[in-house]
A and B are shown apart, each in its own frame.
Chain A
Amino acid sequence: MDVVLSQIVKRFGPLAANDDVTMRFAPGTIHGLLGENGAGKSTLMRVLCGVLAPDGGEVVVNGRACPGLTPEGAGALGIGMLSQDPLDFPPLPVWENFALGGGPVLSRSQAKARLAAVCARMGFVLPPDAPVSRLTVAERQQLELARLFDRDVRLLILDEPTTGISPAQKEALFGVLRAFVADGERVVALVTHKLAEAKELCDTVSVLRQGRLVGSFAAPLSTTAILGAMFGAEAACAVGAVPPRPAPVVGGEALLRVTDAVIADEKIVLQPLSVAIRPGEIVGLAGISGGGQEAFLRGLAGIAPVVAGSLAVAGRELAGKPATRFLNAAVHYLPASRLEEGLFPGLTLLDHVRLAFPERRAEARAIFAERCVGRFRLTNLPEAKAARLSGGNQQRLLLSLVPDDTRLLLADNPTRGLDAASIAQIWDHFRERAAAGAAVVFFSEDLDELLAHAGRVLVFFNRALVADLKAGIFDAACVGDLMTGRTVPGQAVA
C-alpha cells in the first residue's frame, strides 16, 4: 500500500497545526513521525485516517486522491489508527470490543474464533470474556491491534504507543510491528516524540516542528541531525545535555512518614504500605496503569482518603483528615490534567492569583508581575483567560500558585504534553525546591524521564508498593520488570 499526504493544511483558529506538509508512506516500511509535543503529528495522522478534514491538500492512496475521507472510508481503504488513549468500551467484554465497529456483524462464537485466530498469529494472550476495564494498557493496545489486524488493515498508524507500557512490553510490540511490515506490502506510521524509539524501529523518519515538515531522514538515522530538526540547532544542545541524577538523601528526620497506610482511591484500594521520605528528596513513582502509583500520590495529597494506618507530615498526623488540612501542612499537588483539575478555564490569570493568595489579593498585580512573569516566565497578560494558555504556560501558572513554603510537592505527570523548554524549566524548578528543603514526589508515564530525574524510585505493581530503589542501583529494564510483576531475585523489596 502506497499512501501520500500531499500539501496538507489544517488550521485551528489562528493556529496552523499542519502547514503544507507532504510525505510518502512507502510499502514495507516503518515510517517514524517525530516532533515535540504540539508539533502537529497527531493532527496529521487524524487527517490521514479521516477523523479531521484538512483545510487544504489531499490524501492519495495507491495513486488515487481520496477527497472527503471519513473514518469509515479510511477503514475501508485499510487505514487504521491505534490512538494514544485506548478508544474502547471498558465495561464491555474483550470479544464484544473486538467485534464492534468497522466490520461485519459477528455472532459470539464467530467473533471469539476470529479473536483467537488473530491472537494466535500475533502471539497475544487476551481473555475473551473479561471486561476491558480489567486489562492493562498494553493488553488494551493488543486488543485494538487484534481488531485492526482482523479488519485487514494495510496502513497501521500508532500514536505514542509506548506511553504507559513497560520496556519488555515495548519490545514485544516492536516485534509485532516488524512482523507486520515483513511482507513488503503493509506500512506502519509511528508517531513518537522519543528519538530512541524511532532509531530502534524506523526505516524512514519525518520530523515536524510547529506544523511544518522540517526534515526527512532514512536509516541509518543520525541523532544530531534529527535533534537539530526537532528543536532547532541551538536548543538541541540543551536538550541533549542530561542533568546529573540527584544523589540519594540519607540521614536526617523524615518529613513524610507513612505507616501501614491503606489508601482508598475512587476505583482502587492499595495494599497497606509504609515509607518515609526526607526533606530534599526527589522521589519518582514507577508503575504501569492501574499499578496504584497515582492513587498513592492522591493519598499523599489528601484527595484519596487514608482509611487505615498513619500518614504524618512533619510529625502532624493527617490520616483521615480533609484535604484542607494537608494544604495547611504545606502539602501541594499538581494534577496531570491541568486545565480540568487545577485551573479555572473562564477566569483570568489575575483571578487565579487572587484565589491562590487570598490574604494578599490586594497586591495580586504585583504578585503576578514578580512571581508568575518574573520567576516562572509566564508570557501571558494578567487579563488572559486560563483556557487560552498553552500546556507549558498552564503548568507555569500552576507552579507559580504553589506557595514557596511548600514542604511536600506532589506532581502527577508534570511534563505530559509539554515542549522541551517547559520540561527543562519544570525539572530545574523541582531541583531548586528540593535544594531548598522540600520533598518532591512525582509520577511520570515516561520511564526514561522518571529514571533520569528521580533520586529514589518507588515501584508499584498490582496496587502494592513492591520496591524502594535508591539511586544508582536501578536501570530501565530492572524497574520495568518490577512494574510488570516479574520479581528480580536478590532485589531489595520494601
Chain B
Amino acid sequence: MTGRTSSLARAGFSLALALCVTLAIVAAAGAPPLTTLAVMLDGGLGSGQAVLRTLSALVPLLLCGAALCVTFAANLWNIGVEGQITLGAVCCVWFLRDLGLAGLVPPFLAVPGALAASMVGGAAWALLSGVLRTHGRVHEIFSGLGLNFVAMGVSLWLILGPWKRPGMASMSGTEPLPAALWLPALGGRPMSLWGLILAVAAFVLVAWVLNRTFFGLTLSAVRQNAMAAERLGLRPKRRMLAAMALGGALAGLAGGVLVAGLYHRLIPSISGNYGYTAIMAVLLASGSLRFLPLACLFFAVLTVGSIQLPLALSLDSSLAGVVQGVLVLTLFAARRLWPAGNTGSTGGTRNRGSAA
C-alpha cells in the first residue's frame, strides 16, 4: 500500500540507525568506528578476491533463503536448515567417495549425481521435521533445532570414524576429493561460479513456483488459514510436507555446492551458520522475494568483511560477532520505529478490531 519510495526511505532510515548504534558500540569497545566500518566494507567488496569470497558466501545464503521462502510460504519455521545443509553435504561426499571414486558412475554423471544426492539428503532430513509436525504434533522449530545437532553429530562421526583420513582421524576433515570430482571451476577461481548459477536458477524457480503456480497458491492458502484449507479439501498436511521437502532439497543443494564447489571434502560444521544467517536475511527482506537477494548480499558482505577485523585492526575476533549481532538487531528494531511502519501495523490491528 505504501509507495516504493517510502519503503526505500524506511530501509535507509533503519540502515542509518543500525549503523549509528553499531558504531557507538564499536567505539565503546575502544576501536576506531569509521575505520572498522571501512575495513569491513573493504574486506567484503574491496578487491576481486574479496568479491569472489563474498559471492561464495552468497551462494549458500541465496539457496537457503530460497528454501526458507518456500517453507515460510506455508507458514513453517524451518529452523533445521543447518542440518539440511549438513546432510546435503554428507550425501554429496558419500556419492563422490563411494560411487564416484569407485567408478560406479560415469565421470560426467558424478558431480550432477552428487548434487542430486545432496538434494535428496536435505529433503529427507527436512521431511523428518515435517512428518513430526504433521503427524507427531512436534513443532518444526524444536524438531529442526534438535535435528541440527543430530546432523552435526552424524558429520563428526563420519569425519572421525568411517571416513577418517588414512592413518589418523582429523578435525580438518576427510581426505580431499580428486579435482576430477569437483564442480567445474569457471576460469580457475577458488569458488566455482557454477554454484552461483545454480543458486540464481533455484531462486528464479522458487519465485516462479510461489507466484505463478497453483501449488504456490495452495501454499499461501495454507499459510493464511490451514483450517480453511482443510475445509476446502486442499490437504494442508501434504502441502506442508511438500514445502518442507522442496525447502530441504534446496538447503541440501547448498551443502552439495559447498562440498563440490568449495571444500572438496567433508569438514566439521560445514554448514557454517549459513542456515541461521539465511533466516535473518529472509526476515530482513520481510519474506519478500524481491528484496531477498539484496538481503543475502548484505549478510554475505558482513560475514566475509568481519573476518578482516582481527587481521587488519588486531581487534578481538569476538567483536566481529558483536558487530554483526548488534547491526542485525538494531536493523529489526529500527524498522518498527519508522513512522510509516507504525501506521501500517496499527492500521491492520484497527481493521481487525472493527471486524470483531
A interface, CB within 8 angstroms of B:
12-13, 15, 17, 303, 323-324, 327-328, 333, 335, 339-347, 351, 354-356, 358, 361, 387, 401
Q: Tell me if A324 and B233 are in contact (CB < 8 A).
A: yes
Residues of B within 8 A of A333 (CB): 231
A345-B227 Cα distance, complex, nearest whole Å: 12
Given contacts A323-B230, A339-B355, A351-B217, 19 further A-B contacts (CB under 8 A): A12-B350, A13-B350, A13-B351, A303-B231, A327-B233, A328-B233, A333-B231, A340-B225, A340-B227, A341-B227, A342-B231, A343-B225, A344-B228, A347-B220, A347-B221, A355-B221, A355-B232, A355-B234, A358-B214
Q: Tell me if A341 and B228 are in contact (CB < 8 A).
A: yes
Q: Tell me if B231 and A346 are in contact (CB < 8 A).
A: no
A164-B335 Cα distance, complex, nearest whole Å: 45
A97-B231 Cα distance, complex, nearest whole Å: 36
Query: Which residue of chain A lies nearest to B353 when distances are taken between CB atoms in the complex?
Result: A12
**Given known A-B contacts A15-B354, A324-B235, A355 and B230 have beta carbons under 8 A apart:** no
A387-B353 Cα distance, complex, nearest whole Å: 12
B interface, CB within 8 angstroms of A:
214, 217-218, 220-221, 224-225, 227-235, 347, 350-351, 353-355
Tally of A-B Cβ pairs under 8 angstroms: 63
Interface of B (DSSP majority class): helix
CB distance from A367 to the nearest CB of B (A): 15
CB distance from B215 to the nearest CB of A (A): 11
Q: Tell me if A342 and B228 are in contact (CB < 8 A).
A: yes
CB distance from A387 to the nearest CB of B (A): 7
Contact for A346 among B224, B235, B347, CB less than 8 A: B224
Query: Which residue of chain B lies nearest to A354 when distances are taken between CB atoms in the complex?
Result: B217
Interface of A (DSSP majority class): helix
CB distance from B30 to the nearest CB of A (A): 48
**Given known A-B contacts A327-B233, A333-B231, A341-B228, A387 and B221 have beta carbons under 8 A apart:** no
**Given known A-B contacts A324-B233, A324-B235, A361-B214, A343 and B228 have beta carbons under 8 A apart:** yes
Query: Which residue of chain B lies nearest to A394 when distances are taken between CB atoms in the complex?
Result: B355
Q: Tell me if B351 and A347 are in contact (CB < 8 A).
A: no
**Given known A-B contacts A339-B355, A355-B221, A13 and B347 have beta carbons under 8 A apart:** yes
Residues of A within 8 A of B347 (CB): 13
Contact for B224 among A303, A328, A344, A358, CB less than 8 A: A344
CB distance from B166 to the nearest CB of A (A): 55
19 intermolecular pairs with C-beta atoms under 8 Å apart: A12-B351, A13-B354, A15-B354, A303-B230, A323-B233, A328-B233, A333-B231, A340-B225, A341-B227, A342-B228, A343-B225, A344-B221, A344-B229, A355-B232, A355-B234, A356-B232, A358-B214, A361-B214, A387-B351
**Given known A-B contacts A323-B233, A333-B231, A401-B232, A344 and B225 have beta carbons under 8 A apart:** yes
